[in-house]
Every structure is written in structure tokens, then in C-alpha cells.
A and B are shown apart, each in its own frame.
Chain A
């Protein structure tokens, strides 16, 4: 344990980091201990050999070149940064213009489509009737009201047109086959009431 501590102190001494008091303890220990003395000699040899290691020499012109290359590299990001800043501002403007164009085009398409729908609208009696039936649903009162309105309307038409229609048209199969199923109920009511 003592030797380990001494060997660490020897390392510190190599780096000039050993305090005066420890130096004295170290000297006394080395006089007595052959093992640590040998270790110290080896350290000294390594230090001596290390000091002989020469790194590749660099010429003064190398440093001039090094500095100018670094300076050039530093100035590039600045210019690039400025260019990027301009591009960023333009990018936002372009994005805004593109958004406005897309919105305007979408609005145009929407309105044009609406116009086409309005122009090509075809009245469908069956569709209208289905809608009314849907709205009536299971409401029997509403159904009665609807039937009475329909009944009155048919009679009104018959009277105003003064058409010479056989009142027996209720028995005409062709009529009922071409009539939708939805109005078969009010039709049945009409038939019932006329027979009465």
C-alpha cells in the first residue's frame, strides 16, 4: 500500500505537482526501498525518451495558410447566413402567395360546381315524395295532414282543368302502376271515399 502511494507521488513529481513535505517523505522512502527506486528510474527513463519524441515540424508559412483558410471558412457561413435570411423571407412570401392562390382556386371551383348543380337540377317527383315521407316518418298526424292536402290538391286539379276524366280512373291499373308506391296510401283513401 505504501509503495502504491509512493509510486503515485513519483508520477506527481514528474509533473511538478508534488508538495515540499511529500517530496521529503519520498526522498527518505526511496533511499530505503529498492523497488520504488527501480520504479523511479524507469519513470525517469520514460520521461527522457518521451522528451525525445519529435512531432512533425510545421513551417511558418503553414500558419499563414492555416489562418487564411480559417478566415475564408468563417466568412462563408456569414454570406450563407445572409443568403439564407433572404431566402427565408422570400420563402414566407412565396408560401403566402401560394396559399392565397390555392384558396382562390378552391373558391372558384366551389362556385363553379354550385352553378353547374343549379343549372342541371332536374325535378324528380319521386325524390321529393321520398323526402316528404322521410320527414313524416311515423308521425300519423302529419301523415293525415299530408294525405288530406294531397287529396284536396288532386280534386282541385280535376276541377280546374275541367278534364273529362272518367271518375272510374281509380280502377285503372295503368294509372296505379305508374304512380309511386308512396302515394298509394292517399290513393286508397281517395278510392275508399269516392266509393262511399
Chain B
């Protein structure tokens, strides 16, 4: 295909890709690669992991394209694959981390407020930022993914609900609980502000 040729909509491209047009699939991937990569990166916080998982997402999508019934949009379907892969990856990583922690016997807890030097607003602010990242990472997987998709990806509850195949209300509750958990974990720092 010519480079300057106008590409058709996602559905047309999906149809073409289903018939074995690799170029059409590459164009679809090009359209969504940044969003998918960004979502995975927000969850893994590691560029290499995000790269591997994003590549794997598109490969898996390409392989199972024939099974895609187009009941949801390609974008939602792609996100579903990415989220599943990332979820499995995070579970594996969590297990490995737990093993390491057990081996090192070092508790990974949020510091108490008493350990923060008083009057050092900048350092407190920096620490809050770090603790916030840690707190987000420590959220249960489903809450964490919902939080990342809504807050970092700017998705609506409805879009997230379609990815998870659940109701919007479920997403709404997950977001509320995720925020409550974050508040509880960051309580010592939030009072200061």
C-alpha cells in the first residue's frame, strides 16, 4: 500500500487483517500502540517490561484475530488482551517479589510520619510522591488497573467496564475503594497538607 493513501476505519482494517492482510494489521497496531504501551507502562513502571508486554499484546491479537467477533470495538478487545497479559505479568512479579522479600527478610512498609524530618516541606513532598507510587503499586490488581485506566489513561467508567466486561457501577466502586485505600496508606502525609 502507498504511504500517503488514506486508511479506512478500524472495522475495515480489522476485516482486511482477518483475511490475512498484515499491512492492515500493522496500521491498526500503529493506531493503538502508544495508548496500549502507555497503559502497560503505567502499570509496570518499567520501559522494558512495557515494551515486551505491548509487543506480546499485538502478537496475541494478530494470532487470535480470527476469533474476534467484533462485538466490542477493536480498541476494547486489544485493551482486554493487554490487561490480561499485564495482570498475569504483575501476579508473577508479585510472587517473585514476595520470595525475594522473604529471602531478604526486609519488611516493605510505608514509613511512619515520625520518620519524616519536620520542616522539610520539599523532602516531604518528594516522599509523598514516592509513597503515592508505592501505594498505587500496592493496590489489588483490579483496583490498580481500574485506577490506572481512569486516572492515567483518562478512560470513562463505561470504557473500563467494557474492557472488564462488568457494569459501570462496579468500576465506580472500584475507583472509590482504590481512593479509600490510597488515603489510608498516605494518611500520615495527607494530614500535613
Indicate if the CB atoms of A70 and B26 lie closer than 8 Å: yes
With both chains docked as a complex, state the minimum distance between the C-beta of A143 and any C-beta of chain B, in angstroms: 79
Indicate if the CB atoms of B22 and A74 lie closer than 8 Å: yes
In the complex, which residues 52-78 of chain A have their Cβ closer than 8 Å to any Cβ of chain B?
52-53, 55-56, 58, 63, 66-67, 69-71, 73-75, 77-78
Indicate if the CB atoms of B29 and A49 lie closer than 8 Å: no
B25 within 8 Å of A (CB atoms): yes
Indicate if the CB atoms of B129 and A63 lie closer than 8 Å: no
Indicate if the CB atoms of A43 and B54 lie closer than 8 Å: no
With both chains docked as a complex, state the minimum distance between the C-beta of A69 and any C-beta of chain B, in angstroms: 7
Indicate if the CB atoms of A53 and B51 lie closer than 8 Å: no
Indicate if the CB atoms of B33 and A63 lie closer than 8 Å: yes
Q: How many residues of chain A have a CB within 8 Å of chain B?
A: 33
Enumerate chain B interface residues (CB-CB to A < 8 A).
20, 22, 25-26, 29-30, 33-34, 37-38, 41-42, 45, 47, 51, 54-55, 58-59, 62-63, 128-129, 132-133, 136, 150-152, 156-157, 168, 172-173, 175-176, 179-180, 182-183, 186, 190, 193
Return the contact of A11 from the options B55, B62, B175 (Cβ within 8 A): B175
Given A11-B176, A46-B132, A67-B29, also A78-B22 (CB < 8 A): yes
Residues of B within 8 A of A52 (CB): 129
Residues of A within 8 A of B157 (CB): 12, 15, 17
Residues of B within 8 A of A63 (CB): 33-34
Residues of A within 8 A of B55 (CB): 66, 69-70, 73
Q: A interface, by DSSP: helix, strand, loop or mixed?
A: helix
Indicate if the CB atoms of B129 and A53 lie closer than 8 Å: yes
Indicate if the CB atoms of B172 and A17 lie closer than 8 Å: yes
Count of inter-chain pairs, beta carbons less than 8 A:
95
Bound CA span A56–B54, Å: 15
Indicate if the CB atoms of A49 and B128 lie closer than 8 Å: yes
Bound CA span A62–B132, Å: 28
With both chains docked as a complex, state the minimum distance between the C-beta of A38 and any C-beta of chain B, in angstroms: 9
Residues of A within 8 A of B29 (CB): 67, 70
Given A67-B29, A69-B55, also A8-B173 (CB < 8 A): yes
In the complex, which residues 130-179 of chain A have their Cβ closer than 8 Å to any Cβ of chain B?
none
Residues of B within 8 A of A71 (CB): 22, 26
Given A11-B175, A15-B157, A43-B183, also A49-B30 (CB < 8 A): no
Residues of B within 8 A of A78 (CB): 20, 22
* Nearest-CB residue, chain A, relative to B58: A70
A120 within 8 Å of B (CB atoms): no
Indicate if the CB atoms of B34 and A39 lie closer than 8 Å: no
In the complex, which residues 75-133 of chain A have their Cβ closer than 8 Å to any Cβ of chain B?
75, 77-78
Indicate if the CB atoms of A66 and B45 lie closer than 8 Å: no
With both chains docked as a complex, state the minimum distance between the C-beta of B75 and any C-beta of chain A, in angstroms: 17
